[in-house]
Chain A
């Protein structure tokens, strides 16, 4: 299956007009958006669980209104890394994040930064759809209610569901349980729930890994629409998906200590998606995206 993968995503990415594949160039993406703003700046970011390194020395910038994909084999720390970006790792006991991780110029892990406030601006969609055991309406209205939004939440709910391309499918059953939806609908509900609180960034941790190809396609279309208003970071196992939806791709790999006792994830290469898939600078990236390894 990897053989076809190596050809198709590259071909698809090439047809995307915004992505240039010329090495050394920032690409058309920059020319259409002259003031490309950095949302996240990572410099030497490392994560340890109980002192054991999971990710080391990650340095990358993530830009506004782009889809940034993190790809790589299992255990390379993609999920760990994305969970640093809205401080979900704070929930894991003994998890420590080192290095510089700035959000719009402010230290995300600064002493006066409340992780709750962080998560209001930086939402997250998880691998497995996790609707709340409530009605569809209450699922979407929950976030706005919790941040103290009052008044007509029906409008907020409708806007969020439309934004997640789910409104037409659920408008007649808003008060029914969210568990009655299909997996793909549940995941779009989670996206609606996320955009209802009007974040600036949406993090997606393998959002389609539990979905069938048609639902996956819907969510990918949605991502391309959403990036007009939000910056999106997505972790994916699916290289085709990264090629289809992302503007930039970071390839992570597992690195081993010389004595092979410890291993951790590290970013091998980070560049425009077109370049990563057609003309990667690193041999290891090329081996991975062409399906020779992994």
Chain B
């Protein structure tokens, strides 16, 4: 058979299918491609599994160790030097006070800064670019530096608030503000320009457009950013150490100018104790803290869905 003869082609197809290579029309995928694709997806699953596994081991380990103390008394008992009587109440209340003020501080400041940078300052404004650069750098500053800043300027002169809840709130607010600003800007940027144009074309002012169209549309994104920031603030330990967060308070913090302790510091204190009972207590407290974070993230997701539906 000569090459080019239709019979040659037919014979080749027949031969190929007899060998099990491809179908009559479609050739089979090169073997190397198939292997590469499989290897890639295995690598992705492995990366995911590693991350999930780490968290799962942490949660399980603490659950098993802390199980004997995971009861309502853990939340209602105050501080005590006797492990059997010790509980998280003071630390929990302290954390709630601190976070409450952090929210009050970061929402208006963070959203305000984001609106200014995104909507008012032109992209070519030097001031805006300088602020933007600083915000990005601040987000990367180690948290202990913020603790020292709070010690120098908030706990002592010029604000001179002392080692109280509000000092911790102000410091943690400074710490997480860059995150809020960055996320809120992203959320504002994601609102399509056509919405702004449509609103302005109806004779709405710039402020009306931002207040009634852009901000509501950005709420889900902003809420996510705020909750992420708060989650970080709850877990921060280092900046509170120089800010005089007592690890042993015999009272419940009762306001912005009260002395305080917070969950992560309480856990840190218990872990340091030599008695095995305190280790159990610390494990139980870790579960409580993780539960609190999980609950907050759930609220964030619920809020986001609710706003999206109300369109």
Contacts and interface: CB of A to CB of B under 8 A. Distances in A.
Interface residues of A, number: 29
Contacts of A194: 201-202
Contact of A132 (B199, B203, B205): B199
A28 interface: no
B49 interface: no
Interface stretch (B52-60, B103-111, B139-147, B190-198): B190-198
Contacts of A86: 201
Given A133-B311, A177-B311, A119 B198 contact: no
Q: How large is the interface on B (under 10, 10 to 19, 20 to 34, 35 or more residues)?
A: 20 to 34
A203 to B, nearest CB: 8
Interface stretch (A33-41, A140-148, A285-293): A140-148
A121 B202 CA distance: 9
Among A128, A142, A179, A197: residue with most chain B CB under 10 A: A142
B78 to A, nearest CB: 48
B32 to A, nearest CB: 45
Interface string B248-259: 000000000000
A193 interface: yes
Given A130-B192, A130-B194, A179 B201 contact: no
A134 B311 contact: yes
A119 B202 contact: yes
Given A93-B122, A146-B212, A179-B311, A119 B203 contact: yes
A143 B216 CA distance: 16
A214 interface: no
Most buried by A among B197, B198, B204: B198
Contacts of B184: none
Interface in A114-155: 116-117, 119-121, 123-124, 126, 128, 130-135, 142-143, 146-147
Nearest to A130: B194
A131 B202 CA distance: 12
Contacts of A93: 122, 124
Given A132-B195, A146-B212, A179-B311, A117 B200 contact: no
A142 B202 contact: yes
A88 B203 contact: no
Contact of B198 (A120, A121, A179, A190): A190
Nearest to A120: B203
B211 to A, nearest CB: 10
A3 interface: no
A91 interface: yes
A141 to B, nearest CB: 11
Dominant secondary structure of chain B at its interface with chain A: helix
Contacts of B205: 116, 146
Given A119-B202, A130-B192, A135 B197 contact: no
Contacts of A133: 195, 216-217, 311
B76 interface: no
Contact of B208 (A121, A146, A197): A146
B231 interface: no
B297 interface: no
A109 B197 CA distance: 19
A120 B200 CA distance: 9
A123 B311 contact: no
Contacts of A119: 200-203
B197 A126 contact: yes
Given A130-B192, A133-B311, A123 B198 contact: no
A116 B204 contact: yes
Centre residue among A93, A132, A190 by max chain B CB count within 10 A: A132
The 10 closest A-B pairs by CB, nearest first: A120-B203, A130-B194, A143-B202, A124-B201, A146-B204, A119-B203, A130-B198, A177-B311, A133-B311, A146-B208
Given A120-B202, A121-B203, 10 more contacts: A88-B201, A123-B202, A132-B198, A142-B213, A143-B203, A146-B204, A147-B203, A179-B311, A193-B198, A194-B202
15 contacts: A88-B197, A91-B197, A91-B200, A116-B204, A123-B201, A124-B201, A126-B201, A128-B194, A130-B197, A143-B204, A146-B202, A146-B208, A146-B212, A193-B202, A194-B202
